[in-house]
Amino acid sequence: MKIFLLLITLLISNSLLAQVLPTTVGHIGEKPVVLRNGEPVLFKGIQYWGLDHWNEGHWEEDIKNIKKLGLNGIRLNIAWDHIEAKEGVFTFEKLDQLLDLIEENDLSIVLQLNQSAHAWKPVWFEQKYTSKELLVKDVNGKNQYDRLSFSSAPFKKHYYNYVRNTVAHLKDRQSIIAYSVYTEPHFADKEQWLDYNKHSREGFKNWLRGRYESIEQLNTAWHTNFGSFGKVEPYREVPNSDWNQMPDEHRKQFGDWNLWNCVAKAEFIGGLIAECKKIDKEHLYIQNMMWKWSGKYGANVALDPEINYAYADIIGINVYPYGKNAYKVGASVNFIRSMFRNTKPVWLGEFSTKSGNATEEELSAMLGEAFKLGCTGFVYFTYNGQAEKGGEEYGIEHYGILDRNRKKKDAFYELQDYLKHEVTGEEKTILETPIPEAKVNFLWPQMNKIYAYLSEEFNFDMYVSAFNLTNMDSDLPVNVITEKQLIHGEYDKSLPLLVPSMPMTNKKVAGALKKQIKNEGLNVLIAGRFGNYYFNNQKEVTNKGNTRLDSYLGLGFKYLKKGNNKARLKMEQDYGELKTNDSVIPKFDKIAITQTEGLTPLAKWPDGTIAMGLQPLGKGEILYVGSHFFKFTSSATDSARVFNKKVLQSFVEESNKRDQVTSLKQGKKKKKKRLIRLDDKKYTVDLIGEYTFQVVNFDGRLLASSSEPRMHRVIDLKNLSSGKYLIKIRTHTDQQTDIIVVP
């Protein structure tokens, strides 16, 4: 009888284990969310190094504490040497015991596979290969913090094998919600996060063969004289601490080298995720990156959000702001969610304040803004952060809500109080709160940023400045569009577009912008150093002896005076909320534009040169502002920020009036077919409201359609084979037909 009962117990246990809860991406209105068994979930997690020695013997106590906090999940860090301490031998006993306990307590898990608080590479692996075969090298050939190179064949072979085996073992676990196969794929906290390992340099050469038609074309672009692709070397100058000092002729070579490092990471991690999805199709894959792609080293960290989040199902932003910058967490969520056109859920992959020990007030400021702008999950960093070697050299212990003696710190109670007062019981409301409807678009000029402006003030701060002026000051929510989306016209062109202080180093971007202004009535605000890397300081800007004219947009430039508080800008006539004689001293730069055909001067500098003007271009119009308009200012009462707010509001108001007049004159405008290349067989609907759709081939045969009106903005076309099709979207008031290319 006892044997019979034991067998029944084992059968029930195995049955429960097999009840996998499929995890997918869905939408509530426009908002992308994670669905478990078809139900939306707000992931409320905390970082936990469960298999590290200091937590052994404390699992039950720790999990009870996590439940007491009001959390529903854990980001469980395991390390390669936990699982494969001996080559080819995978040991899961301890991990299974911990997962059993977590599941008994009804907690969900994001499993992180690459990072722990100790040296996570197995000893056998480091002994088997040399550092030349494995490690990232800096420009001088020195190891970069013993980081592994994504171009290393031995690393790829063995790491892929470890991750595949682990996913295969865990794929039937009901607690798994997502995997993180390689978090934070940067190399070191240095000004140059690039991999000069010989494998990386060889990969670079092969990549260039596909990027350039010939070595002659490369040499022309780089201002070099390499004899063949096999002789090509990456950019090797040690950059000046002021990146703006990089000579113009070096920028293209540096930009390509930077871009290759982004691609190498993406190929490694994206390839691994693709391998894992063959094993486990029931769960999602999250990519976590430090927001350094958007901060001080944004141009040179070899992390590009558009490239390095493309392969992920869930986007994880790792953020540690100072308390005063808590609102930037929401700005980052808005940035990345809109960049991916609301197709991917956005979580705070890990977060706390810069100093750790976040207060209830700071937690409210960070998560409150993040939730408001579309965040649907978070991982607090961390439960306890004792360093393996007993010291603080890993810089994590102060983030723990327990100290190294397992005593609860104030941070434990601050987190508990925040969750109790603002999150517990409010999950449904948080998930169902609609994301703000965009009123204006912002161009994120990623490659222009790399090629032209490499310092912090020209990176993420431009977007944050735009966010402050739009979302925070003016109730004009902003969406981010990428250069690729601009080139292909894959964005809502009925909204005014903000183009920041960037040159159009990419001719395709400049050409597409011109066409969309001229032919589709796009209204654009351009500000700052547009048109060339730099104007000669306090000298006339000439091209072959003539005052320089931008060949794409017809804007003429006379001179630039760089620096702070150079001169007072004064309005010459009314423009929206701006009245004649309104004035301001812009925070940064004085750029004079010349009178060109059709240009209406709106404001002037004291010397009588034009500071701000309206330039018609076909059906659209350009408002040009001759200062670094998107210069970040934290104070909402700063005179330059107040003035810029009026400029922005006036620009949007006048653009909307112009569109209304155009609409009345032309009647309902027939939308032009767009060519859209789908990366993952998913099409995002831009039209507002309920819609129906049809997909047909070019013979007119119906291949897919909706029988009932839909609200979900993403149409999954997984049943379509590769090729070109027409997709027709229809709402009660609008319609759109696009040509789609299915991979």
Q: Is the pLDDT of residue 294 over 60?
A: no
pLDDT at res. 203: 96
* Residue spans of alpha helices (H) in 57-122: 59-69, 80-83, 93-104
Q: pLDDT grade, residue 17 (50/70/90)?
A: very low
450 has a pLDDT exceeding 70:
no
Please name every residue paired with 287 in a beta bridge, in sequence order, or none if there are none: 315
Q: Tokens 């993420």 appear where?
A: 460
pLDDT digits (tens, 9 = 90+) for 390-423: 444 445 778 999 988 899 999 999 999 999 999 9
Specify which of 14-18, 192-196, 451-455, 686-690 reaches the highest per-range mean pLDDT: 192-196
Least confident range of 86-95, 155-164, 324-333? 324-333
Q: Which of 231-240, 518-527, 548-557 has the lowest mean pLDDT?
A: 548-557
Give me the amino acid identity at 729: I
Helix (H, G, I), strand (E, B) or coil at 72: coil
| pLDDT 10s digits, 639-672 | 889 999 999 999 999 998 876 555 444 444 456 6
pLDDT(117) > 70: no
Q: Does pLDDT of 453 surpass 90?
A: no
- CA atoms lying within 13 Å on the CB side of residue 375: 27
Cα first-last separation, the chain: 59
Residue pair 79/115 in contact by the 8 Å Cβ criterion:
yes
Among candidates 29, 36, 371, 369, which has minimal Cα distance to 177? 36
DSSP H or E stretch at residue 36: strand 31-36
Top pLDDT among 452 and 484 is at: 484
Position 15 scores a pLDDT of 42
Between the CA of residue 46 and those of 67, 322, 395, 423, what are the distances in Å? 11, 20, 18, 15
What average pLDDT does the segment 233-248 reach?
71
Q: What are φ and ψ of residue 534, in 5° steps?
A: -145, 145
Domains assigned to the chain: 1-126+313-433 (3.20.20.80), 129-158+166-174+192-283 (no CATH), 440-666 (3.40.50.880), 675-742 (2.60.40.3080)
Q: Inter-axis angle of helices 410-422 and 59-69, to 10 degrees?
A: 40
So what's the pLDDT on residue 548?
A: 56
Q: Determine what percent of the chain is predicted with pLDDT higher than 70.
A: 84
Determine the Cα–Cα distance for residues 63 and 618; give it in Å rounded to an integer: 64
**237 to each of 140, 257, 384, how far by Cα in Å?**
10, 12, 41
Q: What is the DSSP string of 14-35?
A: HHHHT----EEEEEETTEEEEE
> Across all residues in the chain, what is the average pLDDT?
85
Q: What is the DSSP string of 352-417?
A: --TTS---HHHHHHHHHHHHHTTEEEEEES-SB---TTSSSTTS-GGG-SB-TT-PBPHHHHHHHH
pLDDT bucket at 461, cuts 50 / 70 / 90: confident
The span from the CA of 317 to the CA of 327, in Å, is: 14
Query: How do residues 688-728 score in pLDDT, each as one tens digit?
Result: 677 889 998 877 788 888 877 887 888 989 888 888 898 98
CB 315 within 8 A of CB 287: yes
Strongest mean pLDDT among 55-69, 586-600, 671-685: 55-69
Q: Does the structure show a pLDDT above 80 at 433?
A: yes
Q: Worst-scoring range by mean pLDDT, 6-10, 209-213, 266-270, 560-564?
A: 6-10
What would the mean pLDDT of 462-489 be, rounded to a whole number? 90
Distances (CA, A) of 92 to 233, 244, 279, 310: 44, 51, 17, 31
- Cα(506)–Cα(483) distance, integer angstroms: 9
Q: Is the dihedral of CA 634, 638, 644, 645 positive or negative?
A: positive
